[in-house]
Each structure stands twice: as C-alpha cells, then as structure tokens.
Amino acid sequence: MRTVWKIPLEIEGDNSVTLPEGVNVVHIDTQGDDIMMWVLVEPVRVSREYRFFVVATGGEVPRNTQHVGTVLTNLGKSVWHVFAEMPD
C-alpha cells in the first residue's frame, strides 16, 4: 500500500530524513511559516536515510544533487530550492 507522508524541512540546511526506499517527492510548499515536502512512500519497504538541502536563490547547490522543487516564503519575497542527494 502506498501512502503520502508530510516532512518538514529546515531552511538553508541539510535535512536528513529516514524514509522507505523508493521515495518519490510529489510536492513542496509552505504550511504556515514552515516549508513542507510531501512524499509518496511504500511503508513496508526497508528504510534508509535520505538527504535534502534547502538553498536560497543564488546560494551554493551541493554536488551530486537533483532539484526536486521550489517554494516561496515571506509572501513571495524569498525563494527556496530543494535538492535531493543522489546516490553514488
């Protein structure tokens, strides 16, 4: 059975999250003042650690990452980009 989980993300940082293998990011947005990421998972799968990075426009993007979404905060005045670490 697949389900959607909501994961809070810290701004400008390394977010390590334990999730079932094969996670699929379906949406990134704000909820209140927080950045949230919704992921599609199969909870019965073996879990592993995933790393997500929130980077401001113009900020340095970590190597070996893939863009998974962009979100606006502060009434659209701040733009953040979320990148997932790709396995070697």
Per-residue pLDDT of the chain (88 residues; tens, 9 = 90+): 999 999 999 997 789 999 999 999 999 999 998 999 999 999 999 999 999 999 999 999 999 999 999 999 998 899 999 999 987 6
Residues of the chain by 3-state class (helix, strand, coil), percent to 5:
0, 65, 35
Assess contact for 34 and 80: CB atoms under 8 A: no
